[in-house]
Structure 1
Amino acid sequence: MPTSDPAEAARIVDAFLEASMRPDPVAAAAFMAPDVRIVFTGGRVFGHPGEATAFNAGRYRWVKKRILCNDVVPGDGETVVYNLGTLYGAWPDGRPFEGNRYVDRFVVRDGLIVSQEVWNDSAERILDPSLGA
């Protein structure tokens, strides 16, 4: 599947996110290259969606994404997809939250995600819960 097709790259990212929000890290991994590099906030590096799921299990009781849009940037041999939206869910103590901004940057090459970088407001909201009010 040609990565130069922006719509196909966005579809791959959407399918990955749908699987990862179930959460089903095994299904999510099917959309990622075997040597994928996943970098979460704080510079935490993972090599498989299951590692990211395990990290999130310690940070949230549960978490989901409200996807606002994909911004797709075709490149030479790869496509970059910026996925923007907000997180909602519950902190480990059960307090609900919503409106937590996030940006995920994906690089899609040869029909697979080879890189995912994640940024969100969770750390700020953990430090100052009034930001989520």
Structure 2
Amino acid sequence: MPTQAKPNAAAEIVDEYLRLLMIPDPDAARRYVAPDLQIRFTGGQVMRDPDECAAFNATRYRWVKKRVDHTETVAGGSHEQTVVYSLGTLHGEWPDGTPFEGNRYVDRFIVRTGLIAQMDVWNDSAEWLIDRCGLRCKDYRAAR
């Protein structure tokens, strides 16, 4: 039978990793990741290291930070593997200096033996960028 994880240990790892990543301090964040880390950003962008997250964010935003609303640990996790979700909003500035806030995000993590092995990132940025480019699809409600 798997050993139960210390309550909130995996969530604490994720929260600290995200705090460091948003500074950005990818070198410090790297202390919390497994050597075989797999990161998938919105749109299928694949990364292997926290510095790639910082570099990707630098192309999309002038600056960006997360406001973590809550961190959820999936029931049944163990020291060997626990799934953790971080939910909240992004705020910052687009490359042209226009501020934004309230951009929802969900990050899903797999924490294995105390290190983050996988991170999947979803947020509203792509939709917001579509709006900024004037490429919004027709309102689905008006099409009925």
TM-align CA RMSD: 1.7
Aligned to 2:65: 64
Amino acid in the other structure paired with 1:75: G
Q: CA deviation at 1:3?
A: 7.1
The structure with more radius of gyration: 2
Task: Note the residue ranges of structure 2 that are not aligned, 5 or more in a row.
Answer: 137-144
Secondary structure of the corresponding residue to residue 128 of structure 1? helix
User: Aligned equivalents of 1:26 and 1:121: distance in 2?
Assistant: 27
Task: Note the residue ranges of structure 1 that are not aligned, 5 or more in a row.
Answer: none
Q: Structure 1 residues 95 and 32, CA, compared in 2 at 3 Å: closer, same or farther?
A: same
User: Aligned equivalents of 1:3 and 1:78: distance in 2?
Assistant: 10
Q: Which structure shows the bigger proportion of residues in helix conformation?
A: 1
Q: Structure 1 residues 50 and 3, CA, compared in 2 at 3 Å: closer, same or farther?
A: farther
Q: CA deviation at 1:75?
A: 2.7
Is 1:83 equivalent to 2:47 in the alignment? no
Aligned to 1:33: 34
**1:1-133 pair list within 5 angstroms:** 4-73=5-74, 74-75=76-77, 77-129=80-132
Checking the alignment, whether the CA contact within 8 Å between 1:16 and 1:28 is kept in structure 2 is yes
Identity of aligned residues (%): 58
Q: How many residues align?
A: 130
1:70-124 per-residue CA deviation (whole Å, 9 max, x = no partner) reads 1111435311110000000000000000000000001101110000000000000
TM-score by length of 2: 0.85
